[in-house]
Amino acid sequence: MHDREKLYRFLWSESDHDNVIRLKQGEIAKSFGISYQQLSSVMKEFTEMNMIEKTRSKFVVLYDPDKIPWDRYLVLRKAYVKNQSRKHTESGVST
């Protein structure tokens, strides 16, 4: 999977003075060499983990990446992935 810290830093650098990401998801995916679906999955993860916020058709970066404890993020992400897998299993959707 693509390096989330690097992606988040990129999103931060591509946001305006209100922290709104200026690029469209297709442009971001192309810049990173990942599929639109992969990017959408990571953006959903960032949204559900309250790192970015979606307002209408725009995404807002909520935190300076230098203020995020990325070593702790890996632990939180692992719990997030486990929780998502459990939700899919309980709903009968295989992962």
Domain containing 19 equals 4-90
For residue 13, the SS3 value is helix
Measured in residues, the chain has a length of 95
C-alpha 94/C-alpha 71 separation (Å) is 29
Instruction: Give the start-end residues of each E strand in 1-95.
Output: 52-55, 58-61
| Domain CATH for 83 | 1.10.10.10
C-alpha 52/C-alpha 43 separation (Å) is 8
- Residue 76 forms part of a structural domain: yes
C-alpha 69/C-alpha 92 separation (Å) is 34
Is pTM beyond 0.75? Reply is yes
Total structural domains within the chain: 1
- Residue 95 forms part of a structural domain: no
Is the Cβ–Cβ distance between 38 and 2 less than 8 Å?
A: yes
pLDDT digits (tens, 9 = 90+) for 6-63: 999 999 999 999 999 999 999 999 998 999 999 999 999 999 889 999 988 899 999 9
- Residue 84 forms part of a structural domain: yes
pLDDT digits (tens, 9 = 90+) for 61-83: 999 999 988 888 878 888 877 87
Q: What sign for the dihedral angle of Cα 34, 25, 78, 66?
A: positive
